[in-house]
């Protein structure tokens, strides 16, 4: 089987294989097939210029695939700040004042100067007891409930 591939596999087969992988990438969106496809195209061009053996072509494809995928993941990773929560554009850390006392792991109300998700008064929970009129800041947003802590 390898002898057959070594004699019949041409440079343009690598480029066609690379294009096929790039088309598959369109439907997956994982960057894996993109890296493999780019590597296959590079091997095809290298084989056209240098006329490589099958072993060298496969080794080159593996090495270039690893390098390409590493570069893609390094430069195109999700750089979304981790201090954002859910669909809101409001940073965690927004400050407010307790209007209804909050018992540990219970519920109370907090009023904010700036609206959070369109509302200035929110039900809130905390890991400790927080009395009325205590300044707090948002630690996490869990659906319709905000977790706060004392400042």
Percentage with pLDDT > 70 across the chain: 91
Q: How far is CA 53 from CA 4, 8, 48, 80, in A?
A: 12, 11, 11, 44
Which CATH number does 95-150 carry? 2.40.50.140
pLDDT digits (tens, 9 = 90+) for 3-33: 888 888 899 999 999 999 999 999 998 889 9
Token pair 């006329």 in the structure block, residue: 51
Closest CA to 128 of 151, 112, 144: 151
The ranges assigned to domains in the chain are: 2-75, 95-150
């Amino acid at each position: 089987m390898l002898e057959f591939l070594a004699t019949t596999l041409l440079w343009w087969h690598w480029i066609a294989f690379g294009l096929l992988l790039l088309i598959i990438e369109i439907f997956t969106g994982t960057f894996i097939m993109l890296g493999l496809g780019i590597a296959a195209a590079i091997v095809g061009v290298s084989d056209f210029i240098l006329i490589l053996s099958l072993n060298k072509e496969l080794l080159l494809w593996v090495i270039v695939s690893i390098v390409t995928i590493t570069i893609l993941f390094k430069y195109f990773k999700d750089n979304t700040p981790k201090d954002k929560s859910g669909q809101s554009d409001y940073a965690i850390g927004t400050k407010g004042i307790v209007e209804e006392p909050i018992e540990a792991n219970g519920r109370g109300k907090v009023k904010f100067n700036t609206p959070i998700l369109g509302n200035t008064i929110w039900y809130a929970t905390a890991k400790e007891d927080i009395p009325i009129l205590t300044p707090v800041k948002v630690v996490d947003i869990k659906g319709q409930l905000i977790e706060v802590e004392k400042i």
